[in-house]
Every structure is written in structure tokens, then in C-alpha cells.
């Protein structure tokens, strides 16, 4: 048995207790908006505060898998991925594996992950023959509800079928952006997509708008970049009370954490970015 297989055998997912599960889709219509950093950082912060957390990755880049201890899930045959679920190799709950601390190579308490795969770029073709294929994730999510306090769905930077499935499935929608034009425009695209999908799938309980907006890589004053400062103020005015008050300022520790393969809240818990993400989680009432 490989080390990863041993960890999986020794750290099964939580039993279904019927607990309420908050399912959050972490989304933007643009890549590079901080979705993965948010998912890993806040997911780890919640787990460190005794919440049972599962992070589901839907991006072919596999970045959230890397931050949670699995640098290349495709390289090990015994590691299940979300594509194995779609190919009927295993169920969604059977694809849940313990998140690992890449430094110690030991499981992170209370934190699990459903791993990504390169083949996610073929998701549209894989589901082409499915009736109401937009509901693909909605059909699967039932096996995770009741087992976890929190499920974070880390979406790719587009509005294709993976993201559509997450938007329909989630109890809450988190729009991540930066203080930059491209990512701010991605929020506008996200709103349009939510409206479009809700017309057909609102009956499922799908949200009709963005519940939270997280601003990352912001500046702390106009002197650091008037354009970036102005864009942040425009986002705050446009989204008002759904914008979380803590802006994650540009912090080199985020890049260092990615290189180390760890959530920034684990890699450098006292850094400005880590403390901002912890505060954001509290504002969202994900933990105390």
C-alpha cells in the first residue's frame, strides 16, 4: 500500500450525522481572481477551528489539490479524482481523501479534499449526453451533505459546465475578485450567468445572486496605485453589504505558500494575508 493509500484507509470521511452543511461555490468569470487561495486558506482556517471541511476542486490546473498536499493527482492510479466519479469508478463520497500537510506529509485534521484531474477540460464532452446536464453536481452532492460543516467548491475561471453545476448546487455563492479591471469584470459576468441559470433552475433552490464578495491583492492607499484603489471602491459601491470588509492586501506569503504547496493560513498564519482570510471566515460566520 502506498503512503497516500494508507492515509486514505486510516482517515475515512466523517459519518453522516445529518448536520447542516454549508456548500459554497467560489467563483469568478475570470482566472487568477484568488478563488483557490481563498478556498484553501479559509478551508484550513475552519478545519483548525474544529469544523469538518471538504474542498472540491473543479479546475484542470489542479491548484487546490496542490495546496492540500497532492501535487499531481493524475500520477497515482490509486488516488480517486472527480473524474473517477463522473466515469462511475467511484461515488462522490468514495472520492474524498484527507488533505495533507506537504511539509510533514501527514493528514491535516478535519480537512478533506476531492482531487482534480487534467481531464476536467473535457467535462463538457463527458456530460454531453446527460439529461439536464447542468444538474450533474447537484445530483452528486447529497452524499456529502450531513457529513461536513462546510463544503467549498473551487471553480475554474470560466462560466462553463463545471461552474454552472457548482452555482446550482451551492447554498451560497462567493465571488472572488482583485482590485483590477479584468477580475472586476468577471464579477459582472458571474452575475449575468447566475441570472441566466436561475431562470431554468431556480426551482432547485439555487441562489439568485452573489452572497459574498472577497477582494484580494488590494492596495492600502491611493499612493500604491490609484487605478487599483478606484476599482476596489467601485466594487464596494456596486456590491455594498455583501462585500466582506477585510481586503486581502498584496502579500508575498501567498506566492510562497503556493510554492510550498500549503494554504497561506497554514504556511504563514501571522502574515497579513492569512490574518485577513481568517477574519473573512469569521465575517461569513463559518467559525468563531
Q: pLDDT class for 15, splitting at 50, 70, 90?
A: very high
pLDDT in tens, 169-209: 999 999 999 888 888 999 999 999 999 999 999 999 999 99
Dihedral sign (CA 283, 202, 240, 35):
positive
User: Rounded to whole angstroms, what are the CA distances from 24 to 21, 62, 139?
Assistant: 10, 18, 16
214 grid coordinates: 472577497
CATH entry 3.40.640.10 includes domain 3-283 = no
pTM above 0.85, yes or no: yes
Contact present, 26 and 174 (Cβ < 8 Å): yes
> What angle do helix axes 272-283 and 252-260 make, rounded to 10 degrees?
90
Contact present, 61 and 220 (Cβ < 8 Å): no
pLDDT in tens, 64-82: 999 999 999 999 888 999 9
Q: Please report where in the chains the cell 466594487 appears, as a residue.
A: 235
The arithmetic mean of pLDDT across residues 13-22, rounded, is: 92
Task: Enumerate helices (H) and strands (E) in the chain, giving the number of each.
Answer: 12, 8
Amino acid at each position: 500500500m502506498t503512503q497516500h493509500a494508507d492515509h486514505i484507509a486510516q482517515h475515512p470521511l466523517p459519518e453522516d450525522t445529518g448536520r447542516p452543511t454549508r456548500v459554497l461555490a467560489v467563483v469568478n468569470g475570470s482566472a487568477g481572481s484568488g478563488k483557490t487561495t481563498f478556498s484553501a486558506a479559509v478551508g484550513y482556517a475552519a478545519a483548525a477551528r474544529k469544523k469538518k471541511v471538504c474542498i472540491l476542486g473543479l479546475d484542470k490546473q489542479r491548484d487546490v489539490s496542490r495546496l492540500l498536499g497532492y501535487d499531481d493527482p493524475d500520477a497515482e492510479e490509486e488516488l480517486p479524482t472527480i473524474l473517477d466519479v463522473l466515469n462511475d469508478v467511484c461515488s462522490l463520497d468514495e472520492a474524498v481523501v484527507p488533505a495533507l500537510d506537504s511539509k510533514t506529509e501527514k493528514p491535516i485534521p478535519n480537512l478533506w479534499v476531492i482531487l482534480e484531474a487534467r481531464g476536467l477540460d473535457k467535462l463538457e464532452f463527458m456530460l454531453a449526453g446527460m439529461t439536464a446536464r447542468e444538474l450533474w453536481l447537484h445530483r452528486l452532492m447529497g452524499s456529502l451533505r450531513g457529513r461536513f460543516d462546510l463544503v467549498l467548491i473551487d471553480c475554474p475561471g470560466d462560466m462553463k459546465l463545471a461552474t454552472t453545476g457548482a452555482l446550482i448546487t451551492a447554498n451560497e455563492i462567493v465571488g472572488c475578485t482583485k482590485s483590477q479591471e479584468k477580475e472586476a469584470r468577471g464579477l459582472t459576468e458571474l452575475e449575468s450567468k447566475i441570472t441566466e441559470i436561475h431562470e431554468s433552475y431556480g426551482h432547485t433552490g439555487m441562489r439568485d445572486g452573489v452572497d459574498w464578495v472577497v477582494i484580494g491583492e488590494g492596495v492600502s492607499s491611493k499612493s500604491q496605485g490609484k487605478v487599483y484603489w478606484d476599482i476596489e471602491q467601485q466594487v464596494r459601491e456596486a456590491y455594498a453589504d455583501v462585500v466582506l470588509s477585510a481586503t486581502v492586501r498584496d502579500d508575498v506569503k501567498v506566492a510562497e505558500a503556493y510554492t510550498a504547496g500549503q494554504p497561506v493560513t497554514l504556511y504563514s498564519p501571522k502574515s497579513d494575508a492569512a490574518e485577513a482570510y481568517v477574519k473573512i471566515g469569521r465575517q461569513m460566520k463559518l467559525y468563531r
